[in-house]
């Protein structure tokens, strides 16, 4: 469903607008993600289930929000439609990640859903997550003890290099994937969203379940990322942490540019 | 008595000759001491007032020289701390996210330089930025030499020496890039290993011997270190010395201009002006490098972590000067590998090696090629403006396009993410740019050169449009043209002109194949050409009456006090 | 129009043959196909010297000299500042911010001291030193006729005195000896790598063998089939790798990527049907192009991407190359489950992993 249509449907709760042909492709892709995710979670042995019981009020509110904003694509009963995947069993973590980072509701068709300003308030997001989790169990919101950044940075950095750096870059600066997709930069992403992404594997990111990276491992990874964020590079300005390409570009433009400008001054006749 | 004795020996031994040692106090005494032991006065006499022409583009080679000096200074400091060993140690330094990790002694000592030696990180960054600047300034220097034709006789051999320096500088760069033994450099070495294995017949053994066993082994860092700090720098220093000796022997080239001929050098003497400028420039280059090192991170090895064959970072690239080789590897389409019985022929890896080899050999041999085409055996000390050698300039533009296609391919992933493109499209576009782009660039550059030459010719003959419209007594409107003065015009009319080789049978009445080939290349080079303005043409253009309106305009122009035009 | 006329005239004037018909500039060298015209415009000579402000205005001369002096004094300030900051901005253990400050302060002050010397010296040279152009005369690079004659004479004399040209036997044998003497050096390179191993043989085997458990990288914890959920990816090393003496060499060949797909998404060829376990497949992580770790797994498209040269492999088609310079699919590691539910290898890879090499045979089978 195109972004315009989605916005309208949220505002007026009516189905308007025509679907762009590419929308179907994109949504099938997203559908695969969610069905994949759901399947994964049913197969999972050690995924956490809802830790905190949500209040009935919250669930009711979430239900209303869902019908108004999400049901168009994901179906009234989370069963999914041709426009969007089933959300049965994706859990509160997936909802919190997708809605909390602004990826959902989808605004544009494209290779992947980009991060954008969140469309819902924190309470609305929590209500939606509670509602989705109340229909079918799935990975819950991470517990605060894993998000405090108090883990082992050395171990976390090593795990990050082995499991994450090939897509997200060793400094979390992001990188390219196939066909226009990309691994986003991790700078400024909250610990909770990082944790949720590892657990749920949004879009093309693989799932890192608790058998692969234990909650303590995830805490360590978050710790190492927070360390990088809190401690700017000892060498000075980072040039985007993009590696030798950025350094080479900088050298040619700034370094050699400055020096050539100085040679022009040096050889110009004084007036 | 006391006042006369010191003077007696000098006046008696060499009457009439001024002895520097007896004047100028301490400086004079030291000069005298040195000269009596080294003949240094002869050197000062020979070189002290040597003339050096002034142009910003003549400073590029100096940038390279000075950054090399900075590299030597900072590199020597680094060697005091660096341990070129791959022995496993446990990191216990100051950087928290690596504490307790096993790594090679090389990585460990690189981290210690960065975090536990005051100014160590600064020196590491000075060394690395200076290295990038060294090679970039060499490239810019080579482009200046190429596009101005400074490689022509008698400087062909110095082009070869400079070219060798360029290749050695890349070797220095790559060996240095590998030394910290972090994840980035380890993956770089892994690619080198793969590249070597792709060489037919001997590749497997070359890799095996270089790494002292299987990749990564425990030898490679030490071996690269020896190359990096001993063998390669020794050759570089020797070649730089030779390069500079030739600059002195040949005297510097100069751009064409009034008063400048093929038989003179116009400029400023080494002592004092040039010494002040060039000496000051060393400090400026050093200062700019120091500024970059103080403010900008380069190669944050602490992020990459120690080398481990399993992980890799997104955006794994070599330093910029190896980019063209990495890009060449990326541009090969799938499937370029064949098995021949029990052997595998990896054209996908070997072809880039061959093509790049041919490319740099072509760069190396270009001066000899052009000399063969023109057959011109004269010495050339006056530079060409690039437009006045259209085919050479166009070949250069094609070469740059080819190089840039490869170079940008090495950052295909970053281009994709930063310009929101699919990396597959980036690769396809760059494949096109690298293969077809040079032909397009050749054509466009040549046409631009010829158009500029035509414009020059037009301006030299008829002046430039002043924008003033004048009504003549007859009622006709004309635009006043400003004539150039002789100095301005000289820049536009003084250049070498070649025409295609005409095939003629030799004494025995035959035409050799080599001559045919040469005639064909010569035609390709020179068939489109704009001849310089001759005196006759200039006089014809300026003569009154027989050239219609222009004569009138000029007369008018003079009468109205426009720029005076000088006829030769 | 103008250029056409130019062309005609040029054709009239010049010779086109290679033989030196016309000579220019008096040095007698052949001009090749250069057009040597006698109808050239004269060089107007050096323009008259223009005086600088500092030459005519004593006030600006004094100002320039004050600026230069001030710059040199500023350099002294920079150098002292650098020394002071060496002690005043120390490196505090475990605090990267202190390294940043140390680098920043030292670098800035040193840069100040360098740049002010440089700019001061150049400004002195530009504004205050005499700036009248000088002219040097060039001489041909080749030696004078007399010098060259003398050089030839010396060679002749040396030839005569040594008999180098005459004694062909001595000369021939000397050239032979000189040609042969570097040969031993080549043999010296053999011991760069250990004797007794054939690299092609080493490259063909990894640590994996029947029953080796698949364990997590870097912890070495074995993996149960039930741990590997759909959409997840495990970075795998063989059990016992940590204890290997040549850990990095073994890891460089044995690193494996483990993924689980829906069994119906896998399309195994007949001989590889039993190599997966319930949709779980293991592929070598080492690129078949030049050996980077191929670790970027997209769980929806099932594509693997190499970050170094962008080769792409499709896991649903047995890791076939679908884009990029690689040619061969990633080798698959046949896996099974042992009695405790842990994933184990059925055997080693059936072909060498990593980049191609010359001795790599085309017929790797189950041997």
Q: Are residues A158 and C307, on separate chains, in Cβ contact within 8 Å? A: no
- pLDDT for A4 equals 43
As separate numbers, helices (DSSP H) first and strands (DSSP E) second, chain C gives 9, 12
| Per-residue pLDDT tens digits for C178-211 | 999 999 999 999 899 988 888 999 999 999 999 9
The greatest distance separating any two alpha carbons of chain A, rounded to the nearest whole angstrom, comes to: 83
* Architecture of the domain defined by C205-345: 3-layer Sandwich (2.102)
Q: Show the domain range for B170.
A: 62-361
Q: Are residues C290 and B291, on separate chains, in Cβ contact within 8 Å? A: no
Q: Are residues B27 and B69 in the same domain?
A: no
B410: chain A residues, CB-CB within 8 Å? 245
CA separation for the pair B542, B445 (Å, rounded): 32
Interface partners of chain A (CB pairs < 8 Å, 3 or more) are B, C
- How far off is chain B from A87, nearest CA to CA, in Å? 29
B51: chain C residues, CB-CB within 8 Å? 134-136
A178: chain C residues, CB-CB within 8 Å? 298, 301, 303, 305, 312, 323
B 359-418 residues inside an 8 A Cβ radius of A: 410-414, 416-417
| Test the B interface: residue of C112, C188, C200, C325 with most B CBs within 10 Å | C325
Lowest mean pLDDT, pick from A11-15, A244-248, B360-364: A11-15
Domain boundary among B299, B331, B361: B361
Q: What is the ipTM of this complex?
A: 0.89
Interface size between B and C, measured as CB pairs under 8 A: 434
pLDDT band at A17 (very low <50, low <70, confident <90, very high): very low
| CA distance to A47, A69, A134, per residue, from A89 (Å) | 11, 19, 9
Q: Are residues B555 and B461 in the same domain?
A: yes
Chain B residue at shortest CA distance from C89:
B118
- Tokens matching residue A203: 């879009």
Q: Are residues B33 and B161 in the same domain?
A: no
CA separation for the pair B180, C345 (Å, rounded): 35
> Which of the residues in chain B have pLDDT under 70?
1-24, 544-568
| CA distance to B530, C11, C13, per residue, from B388 (Å) | 8, 18, 20
- How far off is chain C from B13, nearest CA to CA, in Å? 35
Domain boundary among B332, B361, B390: B361
Lowest mean pLDDT, pick from B468-477, C6-15, C141-150, C315-324: C6-15
Q: Are residues B315 and B251 in the same domain?
A: yes
C95: chain B residues, CB-CB within 8 Å? 94
Q: Are residues A269 and C131, on separate chains, in Cβ contact within 8 Å? A: yes
Q: Is B87 left (phi over 0), alpha (psi -120 to 50) or beta?
A: beta
Residue of B401, B396, B372, B399 whose CA lies nearest to B384: B396
For chain A, which residues lie within 8 Å of any Cβ of chain C, measuring from their own Cβ?
Answer: 29, 32-33, 36-37, 39-41, 43-46, 158-159, 162-163, 166-167, 175, 177-179, 181, 183, 201, 203-209, 211-212, 231-236, 265-266, 269-271
Q: Are residues A234 and B121, on separate chains, in Cβ contact within 8 Å? A: yes
Q: Is the pLDDT at A119 greater than 90, yes or no?
A: no
Is B107 inside a domain boundary?
yes
- pLDDT for B430 equals 96
Residue of C346, C99, A98, A263 whose CA lies nearest to B125: C99
| Per-residue pLDDT tens digits for A23-80 | 555 555 555 555 554 444 444 434 444 445 567 888 888 888 888 888 888 888 888 8
Going from the N-terminus, what domains does chain A have, and what CATH number goes with each? 1-141 (1.10.760)
Q: Are residues B38 and B67 in the same domain?
A: no
Q: Are residues B102 and B175 in the same domain?
A: yes
Is B414 inside a domain boundary?
no
Q: Are residues C126 and A44, on separate chains, in Cβ contact within 8 Å? A: no
Q: Are residues A166 and C226, on separate chains, in Cβ contact within 8 Å? A: no
Q: Are residues C33 and B568, on separate chains, in Cβ contact within 8 Å? A: no
Interface partners of chain C (CB pairs < 8 Å, 3 or more) are A, B
Chain-centroid distance of CA C281 in Å reads: 36
Q: Which residues pair with C237 in a beta bridge?
A: C215
For tokens 């360390």, name the residue. Answer: A227
Burial of C74 from C-beta contacts in 10 A (0-12 / 13-18 / 19+): middle
Is B153 inside a domain boundary?
yes
Domain boundary among B361, B384, B403: B361
pLDDT band at A10 (very low <50, low <70, confident <90, very high): very low
Domain segments of chain C as ranges: 1-40, 53-128, 205-345
Is B116 inside a domain boundary?
yes
CATH code of the domain in which B73 resides: 1.20.810.10
**CB proximity list for C271: less than 8 A, separation 6 or greater:** none
Q: Are residues B13 and B87 in the same domain?
A: no
CA separation for the pair C92, C107 (Å, rounded): 18
Vertex A230 angle, CA A228 and A232, to 5°? 70
| Per-residue pLDDT tens digits for C229-269 | 988 999 999 999 988 889 999 999 999 999 999 999 998 99
Q: Are residues A170 and B183, on separate chains, in Cβ contact within 8 Å? A: yes
Alpha helix ranges (H) inside C181-285: 183-188, 199-203, 247-254
Q: Are residues B487 and C47, on separate chains, in Cβ contact within 8 Å? A: yes
C327: chain B residues, CB-CB within 8 Å? 334-337, 346, 348
How much of chain C exceeds pLDDT 90, in percent?
70
Quick check: B88 and B104 in contact, CB under 8 A? yes
Q: Is C277 helix (H, G, I), strand (E, B) or coil?
A: strand
Q: C46-73: string of b/e by CB count within 10 Å (b at 16+)?
A: eeeeeebebbeeeeebeebeebbeebbe
Alpha helix ranges (H) inside C89-167: 96-123, 145-162
How much of chain C exceeds pLDDT 70, in percent?
91
HSE-CB at B472 with a 13 A cutoff on CA atoms is 15
Alpha helix ranges (H) inside chain A: 3-12, 21-43, 56-69, 71-74, 91-100, 122-135, 153-163, 165-168, 191-200, 215-230, 244-250, 257-267
Is B1 inside a domain boundary?
no
């Amino acid at each position: 469903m195109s972004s315009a249509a989605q916005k309208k449907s949220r505002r007026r709760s009516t189905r308007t607008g025509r679907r762009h042909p590419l929308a179907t492709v994109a949504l099938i892709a997203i559908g695969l993600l969610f069905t994949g995710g759901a399947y994964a979670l049913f197969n999972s042995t050690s995924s956490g289930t809802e830790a905190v019981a949500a209040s009935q009020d919250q669930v009711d509110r979430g239900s209303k929000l869902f019908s108004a904003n999400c049901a168009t694509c994901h179906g009234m009963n989370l069963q999914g439609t041709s426009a969007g995947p089933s959300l049965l069993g994706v859990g509160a973590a997936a909802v919190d990640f997708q809605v909390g980072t602004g990826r959902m509701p989808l605004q544009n068709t494209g290779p992947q859903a980009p991060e954008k300003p969140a469309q819902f308030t924190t309470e609305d997001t929590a209500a939606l997550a509670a509602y989705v989790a109340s229909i079918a169990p799935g990975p819950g919101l991470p517990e605060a003890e894993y998000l405090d950044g108090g883990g082992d940075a050395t171990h976390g950095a090593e795990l990050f290099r082995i499991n994450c750096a090939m897509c997200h870059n060793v400094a979390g600066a992001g990188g390219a994937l196939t066909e226009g997709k990309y691994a986003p930069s991790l700078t400024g992403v909250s610990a909770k969203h990082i944790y949720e992404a590892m657990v749920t594997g949004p879009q093309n990111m693989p799932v890192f379940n608790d058998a692969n990276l234990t909650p303590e491992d995830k805490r360590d990874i978050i710790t190492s990322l927070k360390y990088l964020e809190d401690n700017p590079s000892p060498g000075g300005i980072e040039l985007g942490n993009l590696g030798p390409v950025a350094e080479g570009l900088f050298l040619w433009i700034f370094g050699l540019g400055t020096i050539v400008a100085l040679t022009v001054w040096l050889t110009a006749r004084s007036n | 008595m006391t006042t006369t004795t010191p003077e007696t020996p000098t006046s008696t031994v060499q009457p009439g000759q001024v002895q520097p040692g007896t004047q100028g106090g301490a400086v004079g005494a030291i000069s005298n001491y040195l000269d009596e032991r080294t003949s240094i006065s002869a050197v000062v006499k020979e070189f002290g007032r040597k003339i050096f022409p002034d142009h910003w583009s003549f400073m590029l080679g100096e940038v390279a020289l000075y950054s090399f000096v900075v590299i030597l200074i900072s590199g020597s400091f680094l060697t005091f701390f660096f341990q070129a060993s791959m022995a496993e140690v446990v990191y216990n330094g100051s950087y928290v996210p690596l504490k307790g990790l096993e790594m090679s002694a090389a990585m460990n000592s690189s981290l210690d330089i960065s975090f536990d030696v005051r100014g160590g990180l600064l020196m590491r960054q000075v060394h690395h930025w200076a290295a990038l600047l060294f090679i970039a300034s060499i490239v810019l220097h080579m482009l200046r030499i190429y596009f101005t034709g400074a490689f022509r006789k008698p400087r062909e051999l110095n082009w070869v020496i400079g070219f060798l320096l360029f290749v050695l500088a890349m070797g220095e760069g790559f060996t240095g890039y590998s030394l910290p033994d972090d994840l980035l450099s380890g993956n770089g070495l892994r690619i080198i290993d793969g590249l070597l294995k792709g060489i037919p017949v001997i590749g497997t053994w070359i890799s095996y011997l270089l790494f002292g066993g299987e990749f990564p082994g425990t030898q490679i860092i030490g071996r690269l270190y020896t190359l990096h700090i001993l063998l390669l720098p020794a050759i570089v220093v020797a070649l730089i010395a030779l390069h500079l000796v030739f600059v002195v022997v040949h005297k510097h080239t100069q751009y064409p201009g009034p008063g400048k001929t093929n038989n003179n050098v116009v400029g400023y003497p080494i002592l004092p002006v040039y010494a002040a400028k060039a000496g000051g420039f060393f400090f400026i280059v050093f200062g700019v490098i120091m500024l970059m090192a103080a403010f900008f991170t380069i190669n944050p090895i602490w992020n990459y972590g120690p080398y481990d064959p399993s992980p890799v970072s997104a955006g794994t690239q070599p330093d910029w000067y190896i980019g063209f080789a990495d890009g060449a590897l990326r541009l090969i389409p799938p499937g370029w590998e064949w098995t021949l019985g029990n052997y595998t022929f990896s054209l996908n890896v070997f072809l880039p090696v061959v093509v790049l080899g041919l490319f740099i050999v072509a760069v190396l041999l270009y001066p000899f090629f052009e000399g063969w085409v023109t057959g011109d055996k004269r010495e050339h000390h006056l530079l060409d403006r690039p437009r006045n050698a259209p085919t050479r300039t166009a070949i250069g533009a094609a070469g740059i396009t080819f190089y840039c296609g490869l170079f940008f391919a090495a950052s295909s992933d970053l281009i994709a993410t930063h310009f929101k493109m699919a990396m597959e499209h980036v690769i396809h576009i760059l494949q096109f740019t690298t293969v077809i782009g040079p032909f397009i660039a050749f054509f466009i550059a040549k046409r631009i050169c010829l158009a500029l030459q035509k414009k020059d010719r037009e301006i030299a003959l008829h002046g430039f449009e002043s924008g003033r419209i004048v009504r003549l007594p007859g009622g006709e409107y004309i635009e006043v043209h400003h004539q150039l003065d002789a100095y301005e015009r000289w820049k536009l009319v003084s250049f070498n002109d070649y025409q295609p080789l005409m095939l003629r049978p030799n004494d025995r009445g035959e035409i050799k194949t080599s001559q045919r080939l040469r005639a064909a290349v010569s035609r390709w080079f020179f068939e489109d050409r704009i001849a310089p303005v001759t005196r006759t043409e200039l006089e014809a253009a300026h003569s009154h009456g027989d050239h219609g309106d222009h004569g009138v305009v000029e007369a008018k122009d003079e009468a109205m006090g426009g720029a005076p035009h000088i006829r030769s | 129009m103008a250029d056409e006329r130019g062309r005609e005239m040029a054709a009239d004037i010049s010779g086109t043959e290679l033989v030196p018909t016309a000579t220019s500039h008096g040095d007698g060298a052949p001009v090749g196909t250069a057009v040597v015209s006698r109808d050239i415009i004269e060089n107007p000579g050096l323009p008259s010297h223009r005086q600088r402000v500092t030459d005519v205005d004593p006030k600006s001369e004094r100002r320039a000299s004050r600026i230069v002096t001030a710059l040199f004094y500023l350099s002294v300030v920079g150098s002292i500042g650098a020394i002071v900051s060496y002690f005043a901005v120390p490196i505090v253990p475990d605090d990267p911010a202190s390294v940043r400050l140390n680098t920043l302060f030292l670098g800035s002050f040193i840069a100040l001291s360098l740049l002010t010397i440089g700019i001061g010296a150049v400004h002195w040279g530009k504004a205050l030193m005499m700036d009248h152009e000088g002219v040097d005369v060039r001489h041909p690079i080749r030696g004078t006729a007399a010098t060259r004659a003398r050089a030839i004479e010396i060679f002749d004399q040396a030839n005569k005195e040594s008999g180098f040209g005459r004694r062909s036997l001595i000369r021939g044998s000397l050239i032979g000896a000189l040609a042969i003497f570097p040969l031993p050096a080549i043999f010296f390179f053999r011991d760069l790598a250990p004797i007794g191993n054939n690299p092609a043989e080493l490259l063909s085997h990894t640590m994996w063998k029947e029953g080796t458990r698949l364990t997590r990288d870097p912890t070495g914890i074995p993996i149960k089939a039930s741990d590997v959920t759909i959409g997840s990816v495990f970075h795998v090393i063989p059990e016992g790798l940590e204890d290997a003496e040549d850990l990095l060499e073994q890891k460089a060949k044995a690193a494996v990527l483990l993924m689980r797909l829906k069994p119906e998404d896998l399309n195994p060829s007949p001989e590889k049907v039993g190599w997966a376990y319930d949709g779980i497949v293991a592929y070598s992580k080492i690129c078949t192009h030049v050996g980077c770790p191929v670790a970027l797994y997209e769980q929806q498209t099932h594509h693997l991407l190499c970050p170094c040269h962008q080769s792409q492999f499709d896991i649903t088609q047995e890791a076939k190359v679908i884009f990029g310079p690689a040619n061969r699919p990633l080798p698959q590691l046949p896996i099974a489950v042992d009695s405790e539910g842990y994933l184990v290898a059925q055997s080693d890879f059936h072909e060498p992993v990593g980049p191609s090499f010359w001795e790599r045979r085309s017929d790797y089978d189950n041997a």
